[in-house]
A = this chain, B = another copy of it.
Amino acid sequence: MKKKIAVLPGDGIGPEVTWQAIKALDAVGDRFDHYFEYCFADVGATAIDKTGSPLPDLTLEACMNADAVLFGAIGDPKYDNDPNAKVRPEQGLLALRKGLGLYANIRPVTTYSNLLHLSPLKENKVKDVDLVIFRELTGGIYFGEKGRAEDNSSAFDTCLYKREEIERITHLSFQHARQRRKKVTLVDKANVLENSRLWRHVVQELSTGYPDIELDYMFVDNAAMQLIQWPKQFDVVLTSNMFGDILSDEASVIAGSMGLLPSASIGLHTSMFEPIHGSYPQAAGSDIANPMAAILSAAMLLDSLELFEEAKVIRAAVTTLLEKGIGTPELSPRITYGTTQIGDTIAHMI
**Contact code string A154-165 (vs B, CB < 8 Å = 1, else 0):** 111111111100
Interface 9-residue window, one of A8-16, A23-31, A197-205: A197-205
A213 within 8 A of B: no
A286 within 8 A of B: no
Interface 9-residue window, one of A56-64, A143-151, A172-180: A143-151
Q: Is the CB of B229 within 8 A of A249?
A: no
Q: Is the CB of A221 within 8 A of B246?
A: yes
Task: Give the bracket for the number of chain A residues in contact with chain B.
Answer: 35 or more
Identical chains bound together, number: 2
Q: Is the CB of B120 within 8 A of A228?
A: yes
Q: Is the CB of B201 within 8 A of A83?
A: yes
Which of B194, B243, B246 has a CB less than 8 Å from the CB of A148?
B194
A156 to B140, CA, bound (A): 8
**Contact code string A188-226 (vs B, CB < 8 Å = 1, else 0):** 011111110110111010000000000001001110110
A81 within 8 A of B: yes
A245 within 8 A of B: yes
With A155-B161, A159-B141 as known contacts, state yes or no: A88 contacts B191, CB within 8 Å: yes
A125 within 8 A of B: yes
A121 within 8 A of B: yes
Which residues of chain B are within 8 angstroms of A158 by Cβ–Cβ distance? Answer: 156-159
Which residues of chain B are within 8 angstroms of A225 by Cβ–Cβ distance? Answer: 249-250, 252-253
Residues of A at the B interface (CB closer than 8 Å) are 80-81, 83-84, 88, 90, 94, 120-122, 125, 141-142, 144, 146-148, 152-163, 189-195, 197-198, 200-202, 204, 217, 220-222, 224-225, 227-229, 242-243, 245-250, 252-253
